[in-house]
Amino acid sequence: MLIFLLRRLLQACFVMIIISVISFSIQDKLGDPVQQMVGMTVSPEERNQLRNELGLNDGFLVQYWRFAKGAVHGDLGTSYYYKEPALDVILEKLPATLELAFCAILIVILIATPCGVLAAIKPKHILSRLLMLISSIGLSVPIFIVAILMVYIFSIELNIAPSFGRGQTTEFFGFWESGLFNKDGLSHLLLPSLSLSIALMPIFVRLIRAEMMDVLQSEYIRFAWSKGLSARRIYFIHALKNTMLPVITVGGIQAGTLVAYTILTETIFQWPGMGFLFMDAVSRVDTPLVSAYLIVVGGIFVITNTFVDLIYGLFNPTVRLASHGL
């Protein structure tokens, strides 16, 4: 366990260093703080002196070191637009994005698992065929078109749910603005989370089906049948648990896709989350905000991957042994 965590930590550091170098380069190359601080009227000499004072004429590594030190202390620069620490601006939007992603993942798990299992155990059934057909088509419809369709059908034509914003939120612990606990917030959450989950669904239905079919061919399943166990026990205990192993791994790999998809979804539904903020920051050339976003997303990324590995370990006993043994 310890070794496992240490290795994870090392990997995380590596990823974070890459990301921070990228974010630093963005700030370094794109933003000229001097320009931001003073007007056009200041003479070149004075600027240069200011640059010296700010340490902007130091070598790349020196500057990066300063940046990294700041980053570790939670100082990722100040947003040009909001005039506030970039990290604070981002973290303020974090709950919205997390709630959106969380709901979407929940919907995916709740729907894709039974669908995939059904398609695997009864491949000839008309329902399974329909499912596979739908998921084939679903795989070909890009997420933003799904979202647009949802807006068009449910918001414009049927007027069932609102198509933008987050609605009413309730504050918890003084920093977490949640939309999960009132009707207005939930109705605003409906379309975005549905779009996001529909976009992820086909991948998982197909994956679960393929893995499950593989598992059902295995000897231990045949042995389970020969023991006279009920079909339910075989499908949902013996087979599903083994099916979930590769699914969890792929789920971890999809974490990046999820982030990209949240950006698209938030843009379409004007969901006030980090992705929306990021696109805004990009169009405003608010470089500290852009690089802060990258670092926060990198952090989330590392955390999710560790989390996924831990879940994988829970499902797969051989992993546990390996970390004990070492």
Of 199-228, which residues contact other proteins (CB under 8 A)? 210, 213, 217-228
Question: Cβ closer to other proteins: 103 or 147?
Answer: 147
Residues 264-283 vs other proteins: string with x where CB under 8 A?
x--xx---------xx--xx
139, 248, 310, 311: residue in contact with other proteins (rule CB under 8 A): 139
Question: Cβ closer to other proteins: 22 or 72?
Answer: 22
Instruction: Establish if 159 lies at the interface with other proteins (CB under 8 A).
Output: no
What is the separation of C-alpha 105 from the centre of its chain, rounded to a whole number of angstroms?
Answer: 10
Rounded CA-CA distance 277/145 in Å is 21
Q: What angle do CA 269, 273, 279 make, to 5 degrees?
A: 80
3, 9, 30, 130: residue in contact with other proteins (rule CB under 8 A): 30
Instruction: Establish if 114 lies at the interface with other proteins (CB under 8 A).
Output: no
Instruction: Establish if 29 lies at the interface with other proteins (CB under 8 A).
Output: yes
Read off the tokens for 145. Answer: 């078109």
36: number of Cβ within 10 Å: 11
The residue to which tokens 């917030």 are assigned: 185
303-322 binders of other proteins (CB under 8 A): 305, 315-318, 321
Instruction: Establish if 36 lies at the interface with other proteins (CB under 8 A).
Output: no
Instruction: Establish if 126 lies at the interface with other proteins (CB under 8 A).
Output: no
Contact present, 110 and 119 (Cβ < 8 Å): no
Contact present, 326 and 3 (Cβ < 8 Å): yes
Instruction: Establish if 254 lies at the interface with other proteins (CB under 8 A).
Output: yes
Question: Cβ closer to other proteins: 169 or 281?
Answer: 281
Helices (H) and strands (E) counted in the chain, each on its own, are 15, 2
Question: Cβ closer to other proteins: 39 or 317?
Answer: 317
Report in angstroms how near the CB of residue 228 gets to other proteins at its nearest.
3
> Binding-site residue total for other proteins (CB under 8 A)?
74
Q: Among 33-41, 75-83, 90-98, 135-143, which window interacts with other proteins (CB under 8 A)?
A: 135-143
Rounded CA-CA distance 93/87 in Å is 10
- How many Cα atoms within 13 Å fall on the side-chain side of residue 52? 6
Instruction: Establish if 260 lies at the interface with other proteins (CB under 8 A).
Output: yes
283-302 binders of other proteins (CB under 8 A): 283, 285, 287, 290, 294, 297, 301
Residue 218: φ, ψ to 5°: -80, 165
Rounded CA-CA distance 123/139 in Å is 19
Q: Which residues pair with 78 in a beta bridge?
A: 85
